[in-house]
């Protein structure tokens, strides 16, 4: 049975790691498909999806934090749910491609304009992140610490400098998403020269170019131990 499509503008707004996301059930309803089809396509093609880029898998403290943020009228899952997958704009696009229907692509374009990018289009002010918004960064930091034997304060400072602020609590909602993606690249060994240049440039702006040249302190990417096996990402 094909489900009735809901208008993108009437969707409950769900955010995680500084970006808008949606659940499997809501995505299926939009695409006129069954939630089970979305799940099957994901399970069959899981190697094509990257956690943190196409989806977030929430469990434990992360899932409780999301449930606490949502009101009863906009609940995204049952209180008995132990794991929840949230799809980003990229993940939603990948599912539209897998479903291979004109309706799915038409709906995705509407979602892209009216839901995923609506905040930017309307020019809403950038708001500071909350402690709950920054939970994924705390998990990232612990994983980096365990993998590279770097102190947590040093990691916090490096992730903050990467997005041009001096501390976690100064990050905006969108800054959290950028820092999280940077941390994911560190954990998977995919950080780039551009990441290093951005980190150095932002740190110079925060500390002062002359002070950085005189002290020449190592930054986060300089301190990574690249001789050990990559860390396994978990929630």
User: pLDDT (tens digit, 9 = 90+) per residue, 38-90?
Assistant: 999 999 998 888 888 889 888 887 788 777 766 544 556 667 788 999 999 88
Evaluate whether 140 touches 159 at the Cβ level (below 8 Å): yes
- Tell me the mean pLDDT in the region 151-179: 89
Assigned token pair, 48:
């094509």
80: Cα separation from own chain's centroid: 24
Can you tell me the distance from the alpha carbon of 186 to that of 201, in angstroms, rounded to the nearest whole number? 18
- Given pLDDT bands bounded at 50, 70 and 90, which one contains residue 20? confident
Phi, psi (5° rounding) for residue 22?
-145, 160
Phi, psi (5° rounding) for residue 97?
-65, -40
| pTM score above 0.85 | no
- Helix, strand or coil, per DSSP, at residue 184: helix
Assigned token pair, 112:
């892209």
- The predicted structure's pLDDT at residue 210: 41
The answer on pLDDT for 153 being more than 60 is: yes
Per residue, what are the HEC states of 51-97? ECCCEEEEEHHHHHHHHHHCCHHHCCCCCCCCEEEEECHHHHHHHHH
Can you tell me the distance from the alpha carbon of 83 to that of 169, in angstroms, rounded to the nearest whole number? 27
- Given pLDDT bands bounded at 50, 70 and 90, which one contains residue 214? very low
Can you tell me the distance from the alpha carbon of 140 to that of 159, in angstroms, rounded to the nearest whole number? 10
User: pLDDT (tens digit, 9 = 90+) per residue, 86-102?
Assistant: 999 889 988 988 887 77
Mean pLDDT computed over every residue of the chain: 77
């Amino acid at each position: 049975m094909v489900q009735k499509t809901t208008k993108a503008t009437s969707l409950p707004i769900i955010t995680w790691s500084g970006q808008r996301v949606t659940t499997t059930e809501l995505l299926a309803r939009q695409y006129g498909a069954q939630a089970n089809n979305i799940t099957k396509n994901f399970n069959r093609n899981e190697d094509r999806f990257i956690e943190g880029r196409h989806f977030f898998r929430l469990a434990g403290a992360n899932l409780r934090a999301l449930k606490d943020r949502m009101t009863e009228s906009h609940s995204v899952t049952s209180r008995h749910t132990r794991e929840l997958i949230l799809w980003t704009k990229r993940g939603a696009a990948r599912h539209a491609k897998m479903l291979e229907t004109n309706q799915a692509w038409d709906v995705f374009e509407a979602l892209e304009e009216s839901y995923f990018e609506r905040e930017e289009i309307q020019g809403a002010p950038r708001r500071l992140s909350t402690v709950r918004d920054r939970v994924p960064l705390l998990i990232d930091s612990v994983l980096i610490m365990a993998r590279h034997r770097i102190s947590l304060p040093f990691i916090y400072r490096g992730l903050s400098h990467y997005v041009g602020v001096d501390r976690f609590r100064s990050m905006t909602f969108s800054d959290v998403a950028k820092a999280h993606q940077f941390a994911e690249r560190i954990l998977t060994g995919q950080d780039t020269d551009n990441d290093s240049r951005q980190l150095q440039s932002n740190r110079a702006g925060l500390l002062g170019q002359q002070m950085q040249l005189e002290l020449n302190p190592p930054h986060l990417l300089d301190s990574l131990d690249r001789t050990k096996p990559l860390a396994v990402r978990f929630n």
